[in-house]
């Protein structure tokens, strides 16, 4: 049988440092992915599917939607290469990125990549 622990505030053993549960909930990543040089997911949270759209072009669908399209998307690539958010208009169930290589005038290239999504979940 599952249990539920209901609290308003978390505090340390000496009751000197406390954090409201709303802060804990809002301060956690709502989705993240580690992708290889294709759209193969090596590890993830709240990612239901991935698509290799083209060279350096990736799209991921979230298992659970965001509450709105005002979330933050952080991207990074392995080895100092470049990553960028692909879409300007974010949608509640998907995030996209594009990766580049510095070696050939910043053209799209398949790169190992990492994405973290922060914001309000639905």
User: What distance in Å separates the CA atoms of residue 122 and residue 115, rounded to the nearest whole number?
Assistant: 19
Q: pLDDT band at 65, cuts 50/70/90?
A: very high
Q: Judge whether residue 63 has pLDDT over 80.
A: yes
8 Å CB contact between 55 and 109: yes
Q: pLDDT band at 103, cuts 50/70/90?
A: confident
8 Å CB contact between 24 and 30: no
User: What distance in Å separates the CA atoms of residue 122 and residue 93, rounded to the nearest whole number?
Assistant: 10
- 29, two tokens: 């990543």
Mean pLDDT confidence for 47-59: 93
8 Å CB contact between 114 and 34: yes
Q: Judge whether residue 82 has pLDDT over 80.
A: yes
Q: Judge whether residue 34 has pLDDT over 90.
A: yes
8 Å CB contact between 23 and 10: no
Mean pLDDT confidence for 53-76: 92
Q: Quick: pLDDT tens for 3-25.
A: 888 888 888 888 888 888 777 77
* This model's pTM is above 0.95: no
Q: Judge whether residue 42 has pLDDT over 90.
A: yes
Q: pLDDT band at 80, cuts 50/70/90?
A: confident
């Amino acid at each position: 049988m599952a249990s539920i622990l209901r609290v308003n505030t978390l505090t340390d053993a000496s009751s000197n440092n406390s954090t409201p549960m709303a802060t804990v909930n809002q301060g956690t990543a709502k989705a993240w992915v580690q992708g290889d040089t294709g759209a193969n997911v090596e590890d993830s949270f709240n990612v239901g599917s991935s698509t290799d759209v083209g060279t350096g072009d990736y799209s991921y669908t979230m298992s659970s939607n965001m509450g709105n399209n005002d979330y933050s998307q952080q991207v990074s690539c392995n080895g100092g290469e470049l990553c960028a958010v692909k879409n300007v208009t974010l949608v509640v169930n998907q995030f996209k990125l594009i990766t580049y290589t510095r070696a050939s005038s910043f053209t799209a290239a398949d790169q190992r990549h990492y994405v973290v999504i922060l914001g309000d979940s639905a």
